[in-house]
């Protein structure tokens, strides 16, 4: 039976919020990776990569907000500290100044990691009959798979 946010059991709320907080954390770290690379990309592919990385971080910032607001809609706490997000995330920050090819590879892998995390969140939401969270997680997962494809296409061009 489909449930709305206020009809979810406390167990469902907790499990869904945990999954969504994981998604928020990974989205936050990925957003910053894309912005960092946007600021620091150099070389002959500067123009298109600078623009692509901006597209990523702008999309991801909005997605992060949508996920956090869904956590609040189910009456749970949305993790809001950078330290908490970095500690929780399976996506890790990158130190130093990687070249443009490495930036693309790192972002592509991070996009796929996040797409997988979102698919898992969709499954958890479905288990609890929370179709609205499931739909949001699926929508965001599709966006991240698409970005992974775009990054892969750039990598092929650069090989």
- For the chain, the straight-line distance linking the first and the last C-alpha, in angstroms and rounded, comes to 50
6 — pLDDT class (breaks 50, 70, 90): confident
Euclidean distance between CA atoms 103 and 36, whole angstroms: 10
pLDDT, tens digit, for every residue of 61-88?
A: 999 999 999 999 999 999 999 999 999 9
Does the pLDDT value for residue 52 go beyond 70? yes
Split at pLDDT 50, 70, 90, the class of 89 is: very high
Report the pLDDT value the prediction gives residue 157, as an integer from 0 to 100. 74
Q: Is the pLDDT of residue 130 over 70?
A: yes
Q: Say how far apart CA 124 and CA 82 lie, in whole Å.
A: 25
Residues 12 and 3: beta-carbon distance below 8 Å: yes
pLDDT grade, residue 159 (50/70/90)? Answer: low
In the chain, what are the domain boundaries? 9-158
Average pLDDT, the chain: 95
Q: Report the pLDDT value the prediction gives residue 2, as an integer from 0 to 100.
A: 66
| pLDDT-based confidence at residue 126 (cuts at 50, 70, 90) | very high
Separation between Cα atoms, residue 153 and residue 66, nearest integer Å: 28
Given pLDDT bands bounded at 50, 70 and 90, which one contains residue 158?
A: confident
pLDDT of residue 5: 82
Q: Which residues contact 110 (CB under 8 A, 6 or more apart)?
A: 26, 29, 30, 33, 91
Q: What is the mean pLDDT of residues 92-102?
A: 93
Please state which architecture CATH assigns to domain 9-158. Up-down Bundle (1.20)
């Amino acid at each position: 039976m489909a449930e709305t946010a206020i009809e979810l059991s406390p167990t469902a709320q907790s499990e869904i919020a945990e999954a969504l907080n994981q998604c928020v954390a990974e989205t936050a770290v990925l957003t910053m990776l894309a912005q960092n690379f946007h600021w620091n990309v150099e070389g002959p592919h500067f123009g298109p990569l600078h623009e692509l990385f901006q597209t990523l971080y702008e999309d991801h910032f909005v997605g992060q907000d949508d996920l956090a607001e869904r956590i609040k809609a189910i009456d749970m706490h949305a993790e809001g500290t950078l330290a908490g997000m970095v500690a929780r995330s399976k996506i890790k920050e990158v130190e130093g100044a990687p070249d443009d090819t490495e930036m693309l590879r790192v972002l592509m892998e991070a996009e796929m990691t996040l797409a997988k995390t979102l698919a898992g969140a969709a499954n958890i939401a479905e288990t609890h009959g929370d179709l609205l969270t499931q739909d949001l997680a699926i929508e965001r997962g599709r966006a991240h798979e698409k970005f992974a494809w775009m990054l892969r296409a750039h990598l092929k061009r650069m090989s």
